[in-house]
A = this chain, B = another copy of it.
Amino acid sequence: MHKETLEDIGEKELINRLGKFMPINQVSDDCALIKTKNEDLLINTDSLVENVHFNENTICPQDLGWKAVVSNISDLLSSGSKKTIGITISLILPAKTEWIWVEGLYIGVNQALKKYGGIILGGDCSKGDEKIISITAFGIQGELELRRNACKPGDIIFTTGIHGLSKLGFMIQNKINFDNDVSLNEKLISKSIKHFCRPQVYPNFLKNLLKTRTNKKTRRIGCTDSSDGLFQAIQDLAIASNCKAIINYEKIPKDKNWPKGDKWDEYYFFGGEDYELVFSLPKKWANNLTNLNKNIYEIGYFTNGGPSIEFKDKNKNQLLKNKPFKHF
């Protein structure tokens, strides 16, 4: 008799089932939360698995160390962390791993910590068949609680940047062939590789939100990061907040050299490993923020309705039938 496997049930259903083992007051979000007497701590773990998330051809150990830290800090920021305390590093490495590789990894880790704050608090290392870098990052919850379930109908949806570049960088590094009729711009190539290997995050984001807040009592904002792609991020917000996202395709910010066509739209929306923030604000606050910061992009709004995503231009809705990023 065939017993049900993780491949059968898929990632979303797996997360759903595992959630039932957690106490009901623990909300599944980008981060876990520990309440202490004075300050609440945000905790996030991200694992990078060889031949799933990276391989030797796509990324060097320094960049991998950088990226492992940044992907965690991105989750902390998307929950409203005002300061990164530090990280613990759990490594699984084959015995034949070269020391120079491990050293490179730690150099990249420390470069990211130097830029975004935090120290190495501890770690452990075990033998295994494949390389796995698992980082747990700790941050202090700021005044604004950014949560997936805090979007409201009427909110404007924003993103901090351009999507799809990391996916393109990954494909270039893997020497994946594109359509013959597409010749990629040199600047786009180098930018995409940089986005894939050395992603950046937005430590000033929270300060700008606080500066432009219209009502000091508002402490909860809908937000997540787009580490599993822009579509997944919007879907996570819509499901957790139980409302409907209307996306304006024309307003989506693209690199000026990004090719046209359905395939490229798919890379854009479902690429993943973008570490942009995707969030929603009431109209007045939204206006204040766009006046202060020109580098954020309004891409749509939330409205009443079951948790779903629609394009304003109905012709674009076929795009959403593509499969999102999946782990199993």
Contact = CB atoms under 8 A, between A and B. Distances in A.
Nearest to A4: B99
Given A96-B7, A100-B3, A132 B121 contact: no
Contacts of A6: 93-99, 102
B127 A129 contact: no
A320 to B, nearest CB: 24
Interface string A31-44: 11110111101011
Contact of A129 (B21, B26, B96, B130): B130
B136 A11 contact: no
A46 B21 CA distance: 20
A34 B138 contact: yes
30 contacts: A3-B100, A4-B98, A4-B99, A4-B100, A6-B96, A6-B99, A6-B102, A7-B96, A15-B125, A21-B109, A22-B121, A22-B122, A23-B120, A32-B86, A33-B121, A34-B85, A34-B121, A36-B37, A36-B39, A37-B37, A43-B136, A43-B138, A44-B122, A45-B88, A45-B90, A45-B122, A52-B126, A92-B132, A95-B328, A125-B327
B88 A136 contact: yes
Contact of A127 (B26, B49, B93, B95): B49
Given A45-B124, A90-B90, 14 more contacts: A5-B98, A6-B93, A6-B96, A6-B98, A11-B125, A14-B102, A18-B125, A21-B110, A23-B119, A26-B121, A34-B86, A45-B122, A90-B134, A130-B130
What are the 9 A-B residue pairs with the smallest beta carbon separation, nearest first? A32-B122, A32-B121, A37-B38, A7-B95, A21-B106, A3-B98, A22-B120, A49-B128, A4-B99
